[in-house]
Amino acid sequence: MRDFKEKTAIVTGAASGIGLGIAKALASAGMNVMLADLRPEPLEAARLAVAALGGRVEAVTVDVSDPDSVAAAGEAVTDRFGALHVAVNNAGVAMHGTPLEKVTLQEWSWVMGVNINGVINGIRTFVPMIRAHGQGGHVVNTGSVSSLFVREGRNQGAYAMTKYAVLALSEALEQETRDAGIGVSVLCPGAVTTSIFDSAATRPDRFGGAYSRPQQEALKSAFSGGALHPDVVGRRVLQAIRDNDFYVLTHTGERDAITARLDRIRAAFDRADRVMATIDRS
């Protein structure tokens, strides 16, 4: 997809951070943009900021973990702009600093509800809308560098699990949408200047309501070094849509850790060659 003029995009989690950066880049390329977020006040501020770049910009409040809310956002796109061409399933929450056995059931429901079901709900609502007009389009799902490996020592297994799921969903979606001319990208950024570590403050009531996660506070400084501005990530995503990149990386510092994981998998295949030959399969 290279022609963005007067076509339409929706971006979830667009009130700040990566979502806002992506929305700015798409608007600057000439797209109509629907900003979607759970937080009304910062969402309106974001709408004004994106509108200042030119083009038509609207905003809709959405809880991506609620399929009816996402469906309503899709209807708002149709009502205000018509056809949808780009969907960015970006909204996400953090779950760092807590060992797996200490993550509560409410926390599991919340982090999976937003990070996994939010993407699923976006796929179910937005992909049929892109298919419907037959002009092709693009879907961007925001994963993380944690979609590719689990960083040791930060107790981020619950978060990484959800981002592995986003990668699997994206790989499957890419296979299933080729016939419709719909590209798929999975964004796997490292540290970006966002408010994700404050996401517990806006946890919906049905998941237990707002609360504090002090165990994440120490990680803020750890992620600040080398953190990219969201606008830079937004421009990277715009380029990825143009070039139909599947893996969209923004940082290269984790190359060795991810390569080591791949080497471990390769070694497991080599061991399977040796061990399976010795096992009685009768």
Name the residues annotated as catalytic: 159
- Output the DSSP codes for 74-93: HHHHHHHHSS--EEEE----
The Cα–Cα gap between 189 and 142 comes to 8
Q: Which residue has the tokens 């599991």?
A: 108
Residues 115/163, Cβ–Cβ less than 8 Å: yes
**Helix H segments across the chain?**
17-28, 40-51, 67-81, 105-115, 117-133, 157-177, 217-224, 230-243, 255-276
The Cα–Cα gap between 112 and 246 comes to 23
User: What letter represents residue 166's amino acid?
Assistant: V
The Cα–Cα gap between 223 and 216 comes to 11
The Cα–Cα gap between 214 and 135 comes to 47
User: What letter represents residue 71's amino acid?
Assistant: A
Residues 3/30, Cβ–Cβ less than 8 Å: no
Other beta carbons less than 10 A from residue 222's beta carbon: 12
